[in-house]
Amino acid sequence: MNPVLQTIFDRIKAAETIMLFRHIRIDGDCVGATKGLQEIIRRTWPEKSVYLVDDEHSDYLSFLGADDAPVSDEAYANALGIVIDVGNRERISNQKYALCQEIIKIDHHIERDPYGHINWVEDWRSSACEMIAAFYEAFQDRLVLSKRAAECLYTGMVTDSGRFMYEGVTGDTMRLAGLILDSGVDTETLYSHLYLRTFDELKFKAAIYENMQLTPGGVAWIHVDMDMQKRFGLTFETACTSISSLSDIKGVLCWLAFIDTPEGEIRVRLRSRFASINTIAEKYHGGGHACASGATVYSADEMQALIADADEHIRDYKATHEGWL
Ligand code: AMP
């Protein structure tokens, strides 16, 4: 066992107040991991105060329960802060994390910013929830995992691994998923929350296929501009799901979704298989994992520049590698 797990367990055990933090633009993994760990701590040590305070809300994840009401700055100052699933400090959604007495970082992104006093970073993990599951496994004789905690953790494991299909999935992922699943997860209800689509959302999907573009090197992309968002009555969050529609095109090793934000920026979601694309995201004000990154561009020209870079990158990859599909 990685000795940092023992340190984290000891710090949690000793703390009276614990504040949990996650990243901006919440997703199933950061919500599941923070709520899952919160529930484990509350069930194991009911006398502790464990808070998760965040302004951001997501309808499709609301089945995991509401966050806590804001607390005083004094509560932060006396707390142990645990930040989960956030690579760099700018992306921590509640910036009051900095008030905490001590900070633990638990993350599965490539390490670029060890902002914690204690850092547990394992970038080969398919999700942050997998790390919380590994933490639970290491101390399962001393921790309580309720059905609710299991549902939170399983949500993150399923969503961040693309239903266990992404490359980052290992035997460990599946063993830990088995441990969590056996704690009573109702998968029929969970998958209904996560994957059922409305009639209008499917109409939007059809429009993505109608409007998607392809570069000569094999990069597929879609621009979900404000017009399209209005035409289909999309929330920003729903517009962001467009990326998943482009994931299964033969010979397309990289796919991109550009989504206009209400602030006038263009959010970029980058995905790939075989070839890594995080260096492209890093060039355009972003970062992330080898095959799943995010970035932001600020004009149509910059969008075209990113597409051209991705196209060149994929051409190079195809010219120098075999076995890709
Ligand atoms: P997304 O397309 O938002 O799902 O992002 C894919 C991955 O890239 C996630 O794991 C994010 O944490 C990471 N990511 C997204 N945007 C950024 C950014 N601006 N800087 C660093 N990492 C990012």
Instruction: For 30-52, write each residue's pLDDT tens digit.
Output: 999 999 999 999 999 999 999 99
Which residue reads 């992922």 in tokens? 173
Specify the CATH number of the domain 199-320. Answer: 3.10.310.30
- Residues contacting 23, CB < 8 A, separation 6+: 30, 85, 86, 91, 92, 93
Strand partners of residue 287: 294
Which residue's C-alpha comes closest to atom 21 of ligand 1? 287
83-87, 165-169, 255-259, 309-313: the lowest-pLDDT one: 165-169
CATH architecture of the domain with range 3-194? Alpha-Beta Complex (3.90)
CB within 8 Å of 245: residues ≥ 6 apart: 205, 208, 209, 212, 222
Cα–Cα distance, 116 to 122 (Å, whole number): 14
Domain with CATH 3.90.1640.10 in the chain: 3-194
Residues in the chain: 325
Query: Looking at ligand 1, which residue's alpha carbon is closest to its atom 1?
Result: 294
Residue nearest to ligand 1 atom 18, measured at CA: 286
Strands (E) across 74-197 are located at: 80-84, 102-107, 118-121
Is the beta carbon of 87 within 6 A of some atom in ligand 1?
A: yes
Burial class (CB in 10 A: 0-12, 13-18, 19+), 109: buried
Mutation pick for ligand 1 pocket among 23, 293, 296, 306 (CB with most ligand atoms within 8 Å)? 293
Stated pTM of the model: 0.83
Q: Is the pLDDT of residue 7 over 90?
A: yes
Q: CATH 3.10.310.30 occupies which residues in the chain?
A: 199-320
Mean pLDDT of the chain: 96
CB distance 289 to ligand 1 below 6 Å: yes
Answer yes or no: is the C-beta of 267 below 6 A from any ligand 1 atom.
no
Residue nearest to atom 10 of ligand 1 (CA): 288
As to burial, measured by CB atoms within 10 angstroms (0-12 exposed, 13-18 middle, 19+ buried), residue 55 is exposed
Residue with tokens 């914690």: 116
